[in-house]
Amino acid sequence: MKYTYWMAAAGLFLAACSSNDNERKLPIYGERTAVKTTVDGKEKTDTLYQTIPSFRFADQDGDTTTNQTFEGKVYVADFFFTSCPSICPIMSRNMKTLYDTFKDNDQVRFLSHSIDPRHDSVPALKEYAQKLGVNDRRWLFVTGPKEVIYPLAEKNYLVAVNEDGKAPGGFVHQGYFVLVDKKKRIRGAYDGTDKTQVQKLGEDIGLLLSEKE
Amino acid sequence: MKNILYILLTLTIFTACGNVENEIKQKRDSIMTLHDQLMERGEIIVRNKLKLDTLQNNLSIFAGSMPGLDTAATKQELQVISRRLQMADNEMSDWMAAFDPVQEGKSDQEKKKYLDAEQEKLYRLNSMFDTALSQSNDYLQKFKKK
């Protein structure tokens, strides 16, 4: 009888936990503004969240990658450079694991921004992608002026890191993977060099995909 | 007796090899730490350059609140400081592209010599960053007060 009681309690506990996980929603980072609208004569307040602004970069195929490329997709963004001797090889390996995990899901994309445009030309990015085993356009490696990429990183992609109470700046080369939802809102930042965090990111991508619009 | 000597000799060789390997690893780690610190400061280099370049194109706005501001001379100074930031950034970028931490096929002594030289280059780069950042910070400060 005692055994049955414990089994029932454990079952209830697990059910509660799994139901919590199903209901778990990822936070939305960045600035937000309250906007009042009137629908059918009734005043309604909506929240407008910070979104990734328009961008335009050259990718590893010599094509142009813009924010439109990620329309309706969940994507993971990071900042790297091909000759990086320290953290980038680990980050790329971890990102590749995610890329392989979601290979059958057309709703998931990856975007790596080079922070060394002086050396990371289109052919250099192509070679890097091929060495990693990336032969399709689900993972794009892009290059552009530092004056564009750095502010985009600091003021937009890395806002989640700033909100963690750390001093602003100095995060571009710290190996963060940033999760962006289908509405281009920032939903998380993860240490791309840490396998546990990358695994968590994989789970969070799953959560975003099942999130109701 | 002879056997003991052989064992001692082998142990000495192994210990010496281990020490050199350890030294190379430590040197490589210290280069990586320095590199990561410079990368972090590289963000400020880009940020300051962006501010200086924006300032160059908007000097007329400050002319009103800064009597006696010689816009032509200031523009020239801004260009010099901006170029210095760009040079420091380019040097760092070139160092990263050329640096080969593995040194495949090289002897331990050659690896050590190479890493010593690379560490020196990074120290020089660090000084270059110091000068470029301090000059640009000072200059930006002057305009911040207005």
- For residue A2, the SS3 value is helix
Residue A185: how many other CB atoms lie within 10 Å: 18
Residue A161 forms contact with B (CB below 8 Å): no
Amino acid A186: pLDDT: 95
pLDDT at B18: 67
pLDDT of A22 reads 56
Nearest CB among B39, B53, B97 relative to A119 is that of B97
Within a 10 A sphere around the Cβ of A16, how many other Cβ atoms? 10
Q: Give the C-alpha separation, B135 to B146, whole Å.
A: 18
Which parts of A68-156 are beta strand (E)? 74-80, 108-114, 139-143
Q: Give me the pLDDT at residue A39, please.
A: 83
Residue A4 CA, distance from chain mean position: 44
Return the residue of B nearest to A85 by Cα: B101
Show residues of chain A in contact with B53, CB under 8 Å. Answer: 147
Taking a C-beta distance cutoff of 8 angstroms, is the pair B131, B139 a contact? Answer: no
Residues 31-60 of A with CB under 8 A from B: none
Q: Widest CA span of chain A, in angstroms?
A: 72
Q: Sort out which chain B residues have CB atoms less than 8 A from A151's CB and list them.
A: 50
Which token pair is A154? 């600091």
From the list A87, A150, A173, the residue facing B40 with the nearest CB is: A173
pLDDT of residue B17: 57
pTM: 0.82
**pLDDT of A128:** 96
The predicted pLDDT at position A95 comes to 96
Min Cα distance A152 → chain B (Å) is 12
For chain B, residues with pLDDT lower than 50 are none
Token code pair at residue A68: 């439109």
Q: What does each of the 213 residues of chain A score in pLDDT, given as a tens digit?
A: 444 444 444 444 444 444 455 568 999 998 889 988 888 888 888 889 999 999 999 999 999 999 999 999 999 999 999 998 778 889 999 999 999 999 999 999 999 999 999 999 999 999 999 999 999 999 999 999 999 999 999 889 987 776 555 545 567 888 999 999 999 999 999 999 999 999 999 999 999 999 876
The rounded distance, in Å, linking the Cα atoms of A132 and A125 is 11
| B43/A154 touch (CB, cutoff 8 Å), yes or no | yes
Q: What is the pLDDT of residue A13?
A: 45
The DSSP code for A50 is P
Q: What is the pLDDT of residue A8?
A: 45
Q: Does the distance separating the beta carbons of B47 and A150 come in below 8 Å? A: yes
Touching check for B50 and chain A: CB below 8 Å? yes
Contact call for B43 and A146, based on CB within 8 A: no
- DSSP secondary structure letter of residue A136: S
Question: Is A90 within 8 Å of A193 (Cβ atoms)?
Answer: yes
Tell which of A79, A86, A114 to mutate to test the B interface (max B CBs under 10 Å): A86
DSSP letter (8 states) at residue A68? G
Chain A within 8 Å of B20 (Cβ-Cβ)?
A: no
A86 chain-B contacts, CB cut-off 8 A: 32, 35-36
Q: Are strands A74-80 and A108-114 parallel, antiparallel or unpaired?
A: parallel
**ipTM for the complex shown:** 0.76
Residue with tokens 């309604």: A44
